[in-house]
């Protein structure tokens, strides 16, 4: 019985394939394309086209620290005390200009919430606070980052031909944006075929234009360019992909020098600039100048809402005593965050 069913299934499959090719041939007669120029759902080329036309979330990493989503314009940030309205990509340069004019290690960026973020598939959600944003950014990293093809872009408008196999109907679509292109191929059903009106033009990250004459050229171009660059995929907030154990190792490895202390919107940095914090394995932390005046407190780390926290407790130093969210962790710098008006920046001093 099983053998009979298998034979029946093979016959059905053969009939389906023959039917598909006959439909493709009729479609080709309509538009003058050969069989190789049609694109089916779930094909490799359809996937490459989706990757190329998906939302690129890397251009605003200086703000959100994640490449798999972008913040929808307009929104407002506070960069080192300067309020900046972000209405387009070009406005992001204003943040860089403020940072460039500030002494290294003291850059603080705050987003005015709520904001809306857009994912690679153009779906959107509202983010109410920094904690929620950090959770989403961590999910990006833990999920393997973004897989969009950023090094090359379609030049629009582009004309597409679609063919419904079951109904033997064809139509023409004028595509004007990446969103339109992504929607066509992400919603492409098994009973539909798509074809480009060639030639089409693509532009590389450096501005070079590529003229593509057929599907084979398009596949070769997208495959070649997919790993040539990652634009701004490096996380401008530093390393967000770290564990509680890795934070423990980080703070105990070298003394940390105080670079900035902001408490209740007051900049108290100057009185602490010559102070070091030495974290010990027994849970004690020594706060001192380079030579004397040691004060001993306690420290521990924890996880909450997807973020790593550092708790400090000193009897005579309320400016440091609190539970701090680790906002940025990089090779020589750690930033601690409690809310918009309470922040600490520490610099690693392995040379001491």
pLDDT for position 17? 38
With a cut of 80, say whether residue 334 has pLDDT above it.
yes
More confident residue, 285 or 130: 285
What confidence tier does 28 reach under pLDDT thresholds 50, 70, 90?
very low
pLDDT for position 189? 92
| Mean pLDDT of the chain, nearest integer | 81
Q: Which residues are CB-contacts of 212 (< 8 A; sequence separation ≥ 6)?
A: 198, 199, 200, 201, 202, 218, 221
Q: Which of 40-54, 55-69, 209-223 is predicted with the least confidence, judged by mean pLDDT? A: 55-69
Residue 93, CA distances (Å) to 55, 84, 186 in order? 20, 10, 33
**Cα of 132 vs its chain's centroid, Å:** 15
With a cut of 50, say whether residue 256 has pLDDT above it.
yes
The residue written with tokens 């001192």 in the block is 288
Q: What is the mean pLDDT of the segment spanning 153-159?
A: 96
Which percentage of the chain shows pLDDT scores above 70? 80
Contact at 8 Å (CB) between 300 and 311? Answer: yes
Q: What is the mean pLDDT of the segment spanning 106-132?
A: 91
Cα–Cα distance, 68 to 58 (Å, whole number): 7
Contact at 8 Å (CB) between 198 and 38? Answer: no
pLDDT for position 239? 44
With a cut of 50, say whether residue 205 has pLDDT above it.
yes
With a cut of 90, say whether residue 244 has pLDDT above it.
no
The residue written with tokens 């030639």 in the block is 199
pLDDT for position 311? 94
Angle, vertex CA 43, rays to CA 42 and CA 44, nearest 5: 120
Which percentage of the chain shows pLDDT scores above 90? 45
Task: Report the DSSP pairing between strands 307-313 and 124-127.
Answer: unpaired
Supply the pTM of this predicted model: 0.57
3-state secondary structure of 168: coil
């Amino acid at each position: 019985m099983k053998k009979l069913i298998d034979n029946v299934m093979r016959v059905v499959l053969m009939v389906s394939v023959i039917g598909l090719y006959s439909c493709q041939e009729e479609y080709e007669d309509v538009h003058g394309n050969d069989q190789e120029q049609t694109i089916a759902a779930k094909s490799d080329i359809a996937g490459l086209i989706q990757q190329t036309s998906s939302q690129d979330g890397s251009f605003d990493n200086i703000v959100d620290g994640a490449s798999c989503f972008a913040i929808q314009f307009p929104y407002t940030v506070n960069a080192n005390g300067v309020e900046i309205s972000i209405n387009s990509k070009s406005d992001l340069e204003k943040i860089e200009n403020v940072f460039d004019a500030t002494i290294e290690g003291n850059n603080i960026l705050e987003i005015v919430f709520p904001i809306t973020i857009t994912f690679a598939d153009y779906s959107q959600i509202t983010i109410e606070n920094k904690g929620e944003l950090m959770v989403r950014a961590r999910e990006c990293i833990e999920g393997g980052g973004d897989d969009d093809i950023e090094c090359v872009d379609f030049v629009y408008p582009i004309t597409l031909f679609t063919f419904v196999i079951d109904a033997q109907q064809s139509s023409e679509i004028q595509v004007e944006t990446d969103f339109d292109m992504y929607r066509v191929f992400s919603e492409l059903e098994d009973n539909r075929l798509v074809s480009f009106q060639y030639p089409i033009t693509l532009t590389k990250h450096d501005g070079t234009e590529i003229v593509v004459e057929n599907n084979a050229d398009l596949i070769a171009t997208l495959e070649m360019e997919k790993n040539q660059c990652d634009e701004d995929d490096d996380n401008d907030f530093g390393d967000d992909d770290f564990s509680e154990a890795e934070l423990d190792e980080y703070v105990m490895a070298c003394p940390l020098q105080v670079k900035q202390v902001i408490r209740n919107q007051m900049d108290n940095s100057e009185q602490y600039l010559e102070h070091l914090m030495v974290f010990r394995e027994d849970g004690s932390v020594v706060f001192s100048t380079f030579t004397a005046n040691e004060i001993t407190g306690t420290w521990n780390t924890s996880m909450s809402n997807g973020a790593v926290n550092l708790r400090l407790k000193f009897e005579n130093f309320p400016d440091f005593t609190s539970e701090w969210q680790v906002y940025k962790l990089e090779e020589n710098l750690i930033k601690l965050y409690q809310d918009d008006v309470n922040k600490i920046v520490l610099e690693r001093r392995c040379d001491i």
